[in-house]
Amino acid sequence: MTHEGETLFGKRVLVEISHAIERFALAAVPSGSTTTDPMIVIAMFQKLSYFQRETDVYREIAASGAVTLVGLVEDFPPQLPAGVRHTLLDIDDPLAREWSVTVLSPRGGATLVAVDQERITSHARTIEEGRRFRGHWSFRREDAYREILRLRSALRLPPGTVEEIDHVLRAVLDVPEPVEQDWWEVPLRFLTERMDLADRRRAAARAALDAATDDAAMRDRRTGVYTAKFLERWTSGLGAGTLPIGLVLLRVFGVAQLRSQYGLRAELAAIAGVTQCVQDLLSPTDRLIRIGREDFLVVLPSWSTDDVLRLCDDVCDRVARLDQVYPFVALPAAAAVTVTRERPLPLARLAREVENQFQPA
Share of the chain above pLDDT 70, in %: 86
Please tell me the predicted confidence (pLDDT) of residue 2.
Answer: 47
Please tell me the predicted confidence (pLDDT) of residue 179.
Answer: 79
Confidence of residue 180 (pLDDT cuts 50, 70, 90): confident
Is residue 75 over pLDDT 70? yes
Q: In what order do the strands lie in the sheet with 7-10?
A: 7-10, 131-138, 108-120, 98-105, 40-44, 67-72, 84-88
What pTM was computed for the model? 0.85
As a residue count, the chain comes to 361
- Could you tell me which of 67, 81, 17 has the C-alpha nearest to residue 169? 67
What is the average pLDDT across 14-42?
82
Quote the CA–CA distance of 108 and 103 in Å, as a whole number: 8
Q: What is the pLDDT of residues 238-260, one digit of tens each?
A: 888 899 999 999 999 988 888 88
Q: Find out whether 114 and 100 touch, Cβ atoms under 8 Å.
A: yes
Confidence of residue 1 (pLDDT cuts 50, 70, 90): very low
Quote the CA–CA distance of 347 and 248 in Å, as a whole number: 10
Structural domains in the chain, sorted by start: 7-206 (no CATH), 218-357 (3.30.70.270)
Q: What is the pLDDT of residues 99-157, one digit of tens each?
A: 999 999 999 999 999 999 999 998 888 999 999 999 999 999 999 999 999 999 999 99
Share of the chain above pLDDT 90, in %: 68
Q: What is the pLDDT of residues 194-241, one digit of tens each?
A: 676 666 677 666 666 666 555 667 888 888 899 999 999 999 988 888
Please tell me the predicted confidence (pLDDT) of residue 82.
Answer: 95
Q: Which of 217-226, 266-275, 332-341 has the lowest mean pLDDT?
A: 217-226
Q: Find out whether 304 and 219 touch, Cβ atoms under 8 Å.
A: no
Q: Find out whether 242 and 116 touch, Cβ atoms under 8 Å.
A: yes
Confidence of residue 302 (pLDDT cuts 50, 70, 90): very high
